[in-house]
Every structure is written in C-alpha cells, then in structure tokens.
Amino acid sequence: MSNASNSFAEVTAPVAAKRPIVRSHHGREFVDDYEWLREKASQEVRDYLDAENAYTEAQTAHLANLRENLFTELKNRVKETDMSVPTRIRGWWYFTRTQEGKSYGMVSRVKATGAADEVPPTVDPEKPLPGEQLLLDCNELAEGHDFFAMGTSTPNDSGTVLAYSTDTAGDERYTLVFKDLATGELLPDRLENIDGGGTWLGDDYFFYTRVDEAWRPYQIWRHKLGTDVADDVLVFQEDDERFWLGVGTTRSEKFLLVAAGSKITSEVYYLNADDPEGELTLIRERESGLEYDVDHVQVAGEDYWVVTHNAFGPNFAVSVNKVGEKLEFDQSHTLVPHRDDVRIEGIDPFRDYLALGYRAGGIGRLAIMDLKHGAPNPDAAEGSVAKLFGTFEQIDFDEELYTCGMSANPEWDAQVLRISYGSFTTPGTLYQLDPATGERIVLKQQEVIGGYDPSEYTSTRLWVTAEDGVRIPVSLVHRADLDLGQPNPVLLYGYGSYEHSIDPAFSLIRMSLMDRGIIFAVAHVRGGGEMGRGWYDTGKTVTKKNTFTDFIAVAKDLLRRGVTTREQMVASGGSAGGLLMGAVANMGGEYFHAIHAAVPFVDPLTSMLMPELPLTATEWDEWGNPLAEVEVYDYMASYAPYENVEAKQYPNILAVTSINDTRVLYVEPAKWIAKLRATATGGQFLLKTEMAAGHGGVSGRYDSWRQAAFEYAWMINQITGLTE
C-alpha cells in the first residue's frame, strides 16, 4: 500500500504555465491558479485532461488483474438476458428486455386481455410472447454514439404513438421524437434541446419543458401532434431563477399539473385534462418557506386534492381539500397530522386506495388506506373533511434495516399495488399487494447468478455521538463469518445533502468487497434525510459543516472501537458527497488512508458565485448565496475543499469526473487535483476524466461495470494491498 510517485511530469507532456486570476467579492480576494482549466473547448485543456488520464492509467496499471476480476465477478452475477415485470398501461403490458452481449435495453409491449387486477403475463426472457411488439431497441438508437441515455418513453392515450427522448452527449439536453407504433416510422414532429421529460393529454397534445442557458427548466410548452413545432404554445414561464418547473398528470388523468418549486417553496397550477388548450388555474400561490405537493383523489363522488405540505411543521403533514375551493391548511382538512418523529414523504392516490410513504426511526415505510372497504377515521373531527376518509395500515417487514416504497403503479383503478423492497442483504424484490386482504405475491426478485445465500452476510446499525452531542446512525454490512475481534478494512460511504437518504439496498459489486473481507459502512450524516427534515436543515447552508464533522466523528469512532485502522479505511462519496470527501480530506484526512471522490463538488464557492452556470441560482437555497451575503461567502470559504488545500500530508485521492457533466463541471475536480499535487506534502492524487459521459458516468451496462470495477479496484487495493 505504498505511495507511487507523484511526479506528473514523469509520465505526461509538459503542462502550460499557470495563468492565475484574482477573484474578488465583499472585499475578499482569492488567487485561483487553475481557473484556466474551465476552458472546455481549448485544445490545451483537452490535452491536459488526456495527460491526466494517461498518468492515472500508469499509476494504476498494477491493478489490471483486479479490475478484470471485479468486472468478471460482477458480470457473472448478472442475469444478462432478462426482462422486467410487465406494467399495465391503458390495456397494454409494457416491459423491458435485456440480452447478453448488448449494452442497452429493448422496450416491448403485448396486449392486455383481462381485468384491471389481471396478473402480469409470465415472460420467458429467451422467447418473445405471442403478439409481442418491439417498440424501441436502444442498442440501435445508441449506434454511432459514445454516450447514450433515454429520457422519457411514454405512449399517448390510445397507444398509437410513442414519445421518446434521447441524450447522446451526457449533458442532459434531449431530443424528443414521436414514433407511429403502427408503421414504426418517426413522425415529422421533433423537439430539440429540451428537458428529458414530458406528458400527454389525450392522443394529440404533448406538454414538455424547455431549459434556459443555465439548464434550468423554466418554460412549459404545448405541442399538438401533426403541427409544426414552431407553432408550439408557451403555457407557463418561470422567471424567478431559483425555481424549476415540472409538468405531469394526476394518476387519475383527470388533471394536468404544473409545479414550480425552489428548494424551500412550492406553487402548483392545474388544468382539466378534457380542455388541453385551456388556462392554468392556481391552486395556492407561493409563500416563501411553504412547500406543498398535490394529487387527485375521489371520495363519495367528489374531487379532492390530497396535499403533502409543511404548513404545520418541518416533517410535513397531509391535508385534503375540494378541487376548486381555496386550499386550506387547518385541522378540519388534516388527514395525517404533523409529527416530530415521523417525516411524511408523499402520498400516492388510487381510485380505491391511498398509499402513504413516510420515514420513522431512520427507515422509509409504507401504509395503505382502503377507501372502498375501510371504516371511517374514528379520530377525525365530526364534520371535518378527513372524516370522509379511513385510517392507514402500516406494511410491515421482518428485517431491521430495509428499504420499501411504491413501485410502478400507473393505473388509477388498480386493485393490486406494486411495492419494491430490499435491504443490504436481500436482493431487490417486487411484491404485488392486495390491500383488501393483505396478501403479498413476489413478482420478481433480483437474481444472483451462481447462487446467493443471504445468511452469509449481515447488516447492523450502530450510533455514534457527534462533537455537538447529536447521535449519528451508521450502517455496517459485511460477511457473517468475518472476525470482528480484530480490525478489518472498511469502506466508509457518505452523502449528506438535499435531504437524500442513503437507504439499505442490495449491491452485486459490493459482494466483491465483502468477499475480500471488507466492511461496507454508511455514515448517515446530517444534510441527508434519514432522520427527518430537521436532519437536513441542520446540514445545509450555514450549518453545512455538521455534514463533515459528523462523517469524521464516525471515522474516529470506528477507529476507537477497533473496527478498523487508519491504514485500512477508505472514504467514498460522489457529487455532493464528493464535496463531503473534499472537506473531510482537509479537516480529517489523517483518519483515512485513501479517499475516492466521484464527480465531486469540490469548488462550491466559485460555482455559487457564477449564476450563469447550470443549477447555481436554484442551489442558493441549499448552500446559501455568497454573491448577496458576506456571511455566506465567509462560511463557504471556510470549508470549500479547493480553497482550503494545505501544505500537509493528505490521504491518497482518486477523483473521477466526466467532461460533459452539467451538474458538477469537470473543472472542479481537475482544479482540486492540480492544487493538491502542487501544494500537499504527501499523498497520491489521481484524476480520471471520462471524455464521453455526463454526471452519471459512462453509458451502457458493460462500460458502466468496467468503470465501477476501476474505482472499486483502486479502493480495494488501497486498504488491503490486493492486486487480484
């Protein structure tokens, strides 16, 4: 596990001399020696990134066998020729097939013949169904492109036309086309340079979003099939640069919804689906700090909005209001009250059921209300709207640590519901639930080729006290036969932003870690959503440092307990979790032998000072606005990884990025690694840039597996010394 040479010049062509710039805001100045790397179109920058890639390849050449072994292990566990469970949409069963040797899926359908609760057809992955119609072969669509990603794929109401969008650069700007499913021909209608999604109203009207120069979805447009796209109608425009737009229909398909939202504020409009060219109606005007989300439900023949909102407190509540009446948040309209210990995450309405997603004890959970057969809610006040509804029944599972949620359930009148389930040791499982009886049927479980015994692995949760006394949950996963009486290698993963929860989930490549004696650990740090909205609120803006100190506290605790040693521990995180990695490298790098940072957000202050960049203005509610507030500037400057690199020993660091990433620009890790190499007194610093990819990395499953094998091989070697 010794460090390799750090001399960049030994294996690369000479790099151009520094061209420093001086950034000045609020009377503060920062000298940036590497901002010239932002010139993406410059051949000099391309040559620099190519040289960095060559250096990284040279420094990791000894891991070639380990990379190949990891790739082969992963590939051999995957059922390459497989298919998804068919999903019923308007009289058709839609499903996706994969074939061995092909990188992308194929979308097919077959006619549904039974009732709405018909069990999906059993499909042989090796053989087509009678009457099966191939709609899209993404392998053909990807031909000639180094990168390929699907945005949306959605049929119109009659199932005669399919709208689908593609991205062939990785920059998340899509081209959407319409395919006649009777002839297989593409229609002349073509929408260029749009956001990836969209929604139909009926057979002829398609609503979609356009993005501005900062990649912000800011306009909703209406296209009528068969007309010139130049005649498309602008339906709504959001001028506040903090807000994004989204468009979709209620599950009942009775209403179109247009939602404007910032990180802290919501506003929703609706349109009757039978009047596609009508005017939008505002449900409730925006109010700073008020977040709400709506869907439609029918009770006793009346139309209601079922509304998830934070009007009563940060963990949200659910209210119901008649469509067309003023949206009220009071006890007479409350269906699910606010609780300090339960975070309401959303509600899915069906004709006869409501499905409630919520989080308690750090675990995401589900509950179902039977609108058709259930008894009225005895706790609701007499005369209240909520009295018309019933009570929720929790869906229970046996494991301590698990993940569950609603799966694909597009049908409004569905009598059986699909639930996804998994854990660190249980492969992803799709259940069919009959809410009336409670019966569950396994429709599909992720298959592990070669066999898998969950009893050979175990997951546990421990709690670590942060420096301010807050208890941080930590998940540990490892082989059940691992000797815990001695220190073992640990991969400590973290994220901690956007209220995103790192929930228990099964991973095929993680098996390769654990089978080599490595413990996979997750630090559920503040800034995430595991413990409710307060967990997020105390790890953002001017409390962001809690995210970093929580992670360091977990590392120190694992060392104190003797779970591992500094030489045996690697930290890993991506995107906003890459910011975490950069900050930890500066603030607590002495506790880790190595750090892996994927598409890392390591130059946040520079980005938040440039509103012309993708996402910046919409992110000010997450990080703060350093342009407007000197206090925010100073706070961000105190933790920004790039700006705080010091002349001291650092862990070995691998940063992975993509040239066309629009969420975290490649220039951030490129500058960071350059500064580390020039400033730090020790540590191996590597940069790998995918030259045809976006934020999610390379496309195609085989290339993605190889990318994962490269990154995991580096981490395994760092903490075990293994090269096979």
Confidence at residue 426, expressed as pLDDT on a 0 to 100 scale: 98
Residue 697 to residue 704: CA distance in whole angstroms:
7
In angstroms, how far is CA 499 from the centroid of its own chain?
11
Backbone angles phi, psi at 577, to 5 degrees: -70, -20
Residue 491 to residue 587: CA distance in whole angstroms:
18
- For the chain, give the number of residues: 724
Tokens of 279: 């005017």
- Residues 687 and 56 sit within 8 Å (Cβ to Cβ): yes
What element of type H or E holds 668?
helix 667-679
Tokens of 201: 């109203």
- 224 half-sphere exposure, CB direction, 13 A CA radius: 8
Could you check whether 147-290 and 453-720 share the same CATH topology?
A: no
Residue 245 to residue 471: CA distance in whole angstroms:
37
Residue 445 to residue 422: CA distance in whole angstroms:
9
Q: What does the H/E/C string look like for 301-338?
A: CEEEEEEEECCCCCCCEEEEEECCCCCCCCHHHEEECC
Topology of the domain comprising 147-290: Methylamine Dehydrogenase; Chain H (2.130.10)
Confidence at residue 120, expressed as pLDDT on a 0 to 100 scale: 78
If you ran DSSP here, which 8-state letter would residue 394 be given?
E
What is the dihedral angle through the alpha carbons of 288, 625, 597, 510, rounded to the nearest 10 degrees?
Answer: -10
Answer yes or no: pTM beyond 0.85: yes
- The residues that are catalytic are 575, 661, 695
Residue 379 to residue 420: CA distance in whole angstroms:
30
Q: Over the stretch 343-377, which tens digit does the pLDDT of each residue have?
A: 999 999 999 999 999 999 999 999 999 998 766 77
Q: Given 3.40.50.300, 3.40.50.1820, 3.10.20.310, 3.90.1150.10, which CATH number is that of 453-720?
A: 3.40.50.1820
Please give the average pLDDT of every successive group of 10 residues along the chain, which has 724 residues: 41 52 95 95 95 98 98 97 93 94 96 75 83 96 95 96 96 95 96 92 97 92 97 97 96 97 97 97 96 95 95 96 91 92 96 96 94 74 78 93 93 93 97 92 95 97 96 98 98 98 97 98 98 97 98 98 98 98 98 98 97 91 97 98 98 97 95 96 95 91 97 98 97
Confidence at residue 12, expressed as pLDDT on a 0 to 100 scale: 40
Residue 630 to residue 632: CA distance in whole angstroms:
5
Confidence at residue 211, expressed as pLDDT on a 0 to 100 scale: 93
> Residue ranges of the domains in the chain?
80-144, 147-290, 453-720
Confidence at residue 375, expressed as pLDDT on a 0 to 100 scale: 67
Q: DSSP string spanning 17-85?
A: PP--EEEEETTEEEEESSGGGG-TT-HHHHHHHHHHHHHHHHHTGGGHHHHHHHHHHHHHHS-SSEEPP
Residue 515 to residue 450: CA distance in whole angstroms:
14
To the nearest 5 percent, what fractions of the chain are helix, strand and coil? Answer: 25, 35, 45
Confidence at residue 5, expressed as pLDDT on a 0 to 100 scale: 40
Residue 628 to residue 618: CA distance in whole angstroms:
14
For the beta carbon of residue 308, count every other beta carbon within 10 angstroms.
22
Confidence at residue 116, expressed as pLDDT on a 0 to 100 scale: 62
Residues 6+ apart with CB under 8 A from 336: 317, 318, 344, 356, 392
Tokens of 228: 């010139």
